[in-house]
Amino acid sequence: MNVRVLLVIVSCALSVVTGLVIARGGSTAGSSMRQRPLIGLSMDTLKEERWQIDRDLFTKATQNAGADVLVQSANSNDTVQLQNVESLITQKVDALVIIPHDGAAMSKAVDLAHQAGIPVLSYDRLITGCDLDLYLTFDNVKVGELQARFLADRIPQDGKLRLIRIYGAKTDNNARLFKQGQDNILNPLIAAGKVEVLFEDWAEDWKPENAKKITNAAITKIGPNFDAILASNDGTAGGAIQALTEEGLAGKITVTGQDADLAACQRIAQGTQAMTVYKPIQSIATKAAELALKLARRKPVVARDTVHNGRIDVPSVLLGIVSVTKQSLRDTVVKDGFRKEIEVFQ
Ligand code: BGC
């Protein structure tokens, strides 16, 4: 009996005892001649600040753990992302980590990787409709719940909160999960007449300029009489706040966000944005490096959760998140070393 089989049996026994699930990689590693495993990282985009941090931390953690990394970014283009994955497969990576632009479109990439015997870890965003090996993300429904809970706590007494909602990219499964979390909190309040949604739209590709256009369109339609913008991330919050600034409304309207981007933390310190959700990128990047390396070495991975991707229950690891306001900036992002106090409060 070889070591791999033994490990699987030990882990399966563990799964019976604890109810955990096991994710396994494909067949043999891409190049058994290589001294260090090679991990391919295929990214949707590097335009937003967070993804640059993800790339840097993931690369560092993977290299420190004894593997090499090849990074490709697709500039929000599905055809390019598929070509990137094909190129990584040709370079015989031992495992693939994919941050999909379009979760459905990238199922083809997973199929191609599997045909080449390469296991795939879906990073932050889910790849749907395929036999994905492993999914690592934050609790995305909870992100939406934290954003909406923040607004629910600000409903005027004896009044209602008038709201504009800006969702993320329709192609991103996360955008739907954030909305689902927001709906969990808001729907009962809407039914009770405590919240009124005056305008809502999806920001294509999560672009700040699209969020700005949505806010402009909302103001054209409903005028300045609204209380809050439920922006689904900091990029779209930034676009919305630009539109508010042009109308002299910045600081008067409560705006949410997500990612603890530096610009967003600065806006929170200055008072033009009210909150963000901090998702520790250090945690996801380090964990991804550890898991990718296990997949590359064809070692079994124990994952506590599963997420259904339309085809299978994907073994999943879900990481925790934190709501951040002006009062808690220092105790959260600064204390965690994610942001420097001097930069945030410059
Ligand atoms: C991520 C967010 C990010 C958004 C836009 C989502 O899938 O979870 O952190 O702000 O994509 O890139």
Pick from 124, 142, 207, 338 the residue to mutate for probing ligand 1's pocket: most ligand atoms within 8 Å of its CB: 124
206 CA: nearest ligand 1 atom: 5
Helices 49-64/281-296 angle, 10° precision: 50
**Cα–Cα distance, 15 to 9 (Å, whole number):** 10
Give the pLDDT score at 324.
Answer: 98
Q: How far is the CA of 2 from the centre of ligand 1 (A)?
A: 41
Give the pLDDT score at 329.
Answer: 98
In this structure, the residues whose C-beta lies within 6 A of any atom of ligand 1 are 48, 50, 124-125, 168, 172, 174, 206, 233, 258-259
Q: How far is the CA of 200 from the centre of ligand 1 (A)?
A: 19
**Cα–Cα distance, 261 to 24 (Å, whole number):** 34
**pLDDT category of residue 12 using cuts at 50, 70 and 90:** very low
Q: For 59-76, how does the pLDDT look when each residue is reduced to its tens digit (9 = 90+)?
A: 999 999 999 999 999 999
Give the pLDDT score at 3.
Answer: 32
* Choice among 12-26, 232-246, 290-304 with the minimum mean pLDDT: 12-26
Q: For 174-201, how does the pLDDT look when each residue is reduced to its tens digit (9 = 90+)?
A: 999 999 999 999 999 999 999 999 999 9
Give the pLDDT score at 263.
Answer: 98
Helices 173-191/140-152 angle, 10° precision: 30
Give the percent of the chain with pLDDT over 90. Answer: 89
pLDDT over 60 at 20, yes or no: no
pLDDT over 80 at 8, yes or no: no
H runs (alpha helix) in the chain: 3-18, 49-64, 78-90, 107-115, 140-152, 173-191, 208-222, 234-246, 262-270, 281-296, 341-344
**pLDDT category of residue 10 using cuts at 50, 70 and 90:** very low
51 CA: nearest ligand 1 atom: 12
Give the pLDDT score at 32.
Answer: 57
pLDDT over 90 at 237, yes or no: yes
**Cα–Cα distance, 125 to 113 (Å, whole number):** 18
Q: For 30-57, how does the pLDDT look when each residue is reduced to its tens digit (9 = 90+)?
A: 555 688 999 999 999 999 999 999 999 9
For the domain made up of 140-279+323-344, the CATH class stated in words is: alpha beta
Quote the mean pLDDT of the chain: 92
**Cα–Cα distance, 17 to 25 (Å, whole number):** 22
Domain limits of the chain? 2-132+281-319, 140-279+323-344
pLDDT over 60 at 241, yes or no: yes
Q: For 141-165, how does the pLDDT look when each residue is reduced to its tens digit (9 = 90+)?
A: 999 999 999 999 999 999 999 999 9
45 CA: nearest ligand 1 atom: 12
232 CA: nearest ligand 1 atom: 10
Indicate if 140-279+323-344 has the same CATH topology as 2-132+281-319.
yes
pLDDT over 90 at 25, yes or no: no
Query: In what helix (H) or strand (E) does residue 302 lie, and over which residues does it extend?
Result: strand 301-303
The whole model's pTM is what? 0.92
Task: State the architecture of 2-132+281-319 in CATH terms.
Answer: 3-Layer(aba) Sandwich (3.40)
pLDDT over 60 at 308, yes or no: yes
Pick from 53, 102, 206 the residue to mutate for probing ligand 1's pocket: most ligand atoms within 8 Å of its CB: 206
Instruction: State both tokens at 272.
Output: 């033009």
pLDDT over 70 at 283, yes or no: yes
Give the pLDDT score at 75.
Answer: 97
Give the pLDDT score at 219.
Answer: 98
pLDDT over 70 at 272, yes or no: yes
pLDDT over 60 at 274, yes or no: yes
* Choice among 29-38, 173-182, 249-258, 259-268 with the minimum mean pLDDT: 29-38
Give the pLDDT score at 35.
Answer: 86
